[in-house]
Amino acid sequence: MRRMKLAITGLTACSGCQLTLLNCEDELPELLGHCELVYFPLAESGNVLDVQFDAAIVEGAVSTPKDLELLFKLRNASTHLVAYGTCALFGGVAAMNNRVSTRRELLRSVFGAGEKLPESFPPVPLANFVSVDAAVTGCPPEKQEIMELVVALAAGTLPPARSYPVCTECRSHENLCLLLEKRELCLGPVVQGGCNARCPATGIVCEGCRGPVREANVAQELELLLERGFGRDEIERRMSRFKPEWDYGKRS
Amino acid sequence: MGSVVEIAPLTRLEGHGSVRVYREGRRVERVELQFIDSPRLFEALLLGKSFAEVPEIICRICALCSTVHKVTALLAVEDAFGVEVSEVTALTRELMLQAGMIQDHALHLYCLVLPDLLGVRGVAELARVAPDLLKTGLAIKKVGNQITETAGGRLIHPVNIRLGGLGRSLTRNELARLRDELQKVLPAAQEAHRLFNTPFPFPELPTPDFLVLQPAEHPLGAQACSMVGRASFPLRDYRQHIEETVLDYSNAKLSRVHGKEATVGALARLNLHPDLEGGAGALFKSHKQELVGKDMRGNNLAQAIEMYHATERALRLIDRLIELGPRQEETAAPSPRAATGCAACEAPRGVLIHSYSFDSQGICTMADVITPTALNQGALARDLLALARGMEGEETNRMTTALERLIRCYDPCISCSVHVLSL
State whether the Cα torsion B85-B89-B93-B94 is positive or negative.
Answer: positive
Residue B114 or B43, more confident = B114
Q: What's CA A128's distance to the chain center, in Å? A: 14
CA distance A121 to A113: 17
**What percent of chain B has a predicted confidence (pLDDT) above 90?**
83
Closest CA of chain B from A138, distance in Å: 11
Q: How confident is the model at residue B214 (pLDDT cuts 50, 70, 90)?
A: very high
**Mean pLDDT in chain B?**
93
CA distance A23 to B155: 9
B371 in Cβ contact with B352 (< 8 Å): yes
Closest CA of chain B from A213, distance in Å: 21
Closest CA of chain A from B382, distance in Å: 23
Domain extents for chain A?
4-154, 166-239
CA distance B159 to B167: 8
In tens, the pLDDT along B243-297 reads 877 777 777 777 889 889 999 999 999 999 988 999 999 999 999 999 999 999 9
ipTM metric: 0.94
Residues of chain B neighbouring A13 (CB-CB closer than 8 A): 415
Q: B-contacting residues of A 55-74, CB under 8 Å?
A: 60, 63-64, 66-67
Q: Which of A28, A67, A204 sits opposite B159 (nearest CB)?
A: A204
In tens, the pLDDT along B383-421 reads 999 999 999 999 999 999 999 999 999 999 988 776 544
CB contact under 8 A, A45 and B12: yes
Q: Counting beta carbons within 10 angstroms of the beta carbon of residue B174, is it exposed (0 to 12), middle (13 to 18) or buried (19 or more)? A: middle
Most confident of B24-28, B200-204, B315-319, B368-372: B315-319
Q: B-contacting residues of A 174-213, CB under 8 Å?
A: 198-199, 201-204, 207, 209
CA distance B366 to B373: 21
Residues of chain A neighbouring B113 (CB-CB closer than 8 A): none
Q: Which of A47, A66, A207 sits opposite B56 (nearest CB)?
A: A207
B269 in Cβ contact with B225 (< 8 Å): no
Angle at which helices B278-286 and B172-195 pack, to 10 degrees? 10
First to last CA, chain B: 39
CA distance B228 to A34: 49
The answer to whether A158 faces chain B, any CB pair under 8 Å, is no
Q: What's residue B325's pLDDT?
A: 86
A217 in Cβ contact with A187 (< 8 Å): no
Q: Where are the alpha helices (DSSP H) in B20-130?
A: 42-46, 54-58, 66-81, 87-106, 114-118, 123-129
Give the pLDDT of chain A (252 residues) as one tens digit per residue.
679 999 999 999 999 999 999 999 999 999 998 899 999 999 999 999 999 999 999 999 999 999 999 999 999 999 999 999 999 999 999 999 999 888 888 888 777 776 677 788 999 999 999 999 999 999 999 999 999 999 999 999 999 888 999 999 999 999 999 999 999 999 999 999 999 999 999 999 999 999 999 999 999 999 999 999 999 999 999 999 999 999 999 987
Residue range A4-154, CATH number: 3.40.50.700
Burial per residue of B290-313, b for 16 or more beta-carbon CB atoms within 10 angstroms, e otherwise: ebeebbbbbbbbbbbbbbbbbbbb
Residues of chain B neighbouring A146 (CB-CB closer than 8 A): none
CA distance B374 to B197: 27
Strand, helix or coil for residue A51: coil
Closest CA of chain B from A84, distance in Å: 14
CA of B247: which chain A residue's CA is closest? A116
In tens, the pLDDT along A139-182 reads 999 999 999 999 999 999 999 888 999 999 999 999 999 999 99
CA of B52: which chain A residue's CA is closest? A238
Beta-carbon-side half-sphere exposure of residue A141 (alpha carbons within 13 Å): 31
CA of B157: which chain A residue's CA is closest? A140
Q: How confident is the model at residue B328 (pLDDT cuts 50, 70, 90)?
A: low
Q: What's residue A62's pLDDT?
A: 97
The answer to whether A231 faces chain B, any CB pair under 8 Å, is no
CA of A67: which chain B residue's CA is closest? B38
For the beta carbon of residue A181, count every other beta carbon within 10 angstroms.
9
Closest CA of chain B from A72, distance in Å: 17
Residues of chain B neighbouring A242 (CB-CB closer than 8 A): none
Whether a cis peptide bond, with omega within 30° of 0, leads into B9 is: yes
Q: Which of B104, B135, B159, B251 to mutate to test the interface with A (most CBs of A within 10 A)?
A: B159
CB contact under 8 A, B153 and A204: yes
Closest CA of chain A from B57, distance in Å: 7
CB contact under 8 A, A14 and B62: yes
A146 in Cβ contact with A136 (< 8 Å): yes
Closest CA of chain A from B111, distance in Å: 7
Residues of chain A neighbouring B48 (CB-CB closer than 8 A): 237
CB contact under 8 A, B159 and A25: no
Q: What are phi and psi of A199, to 5 degrees?
A: -70, -55
Q: What's residue A33's pLDDT?
A: 87
List B364's β-bridge partners, or say none: B358
In tens, the pLDDT along B116-162 reads 999 999 999 999 999 999 999 999 999 999 999 999 999 999 999 99
Residues of chain A neighbouring B44 (CB-CB closer than 8 A): 97, 101, 105-107, 109-110
Q: What's residue B419's pLDDT?
A: 52
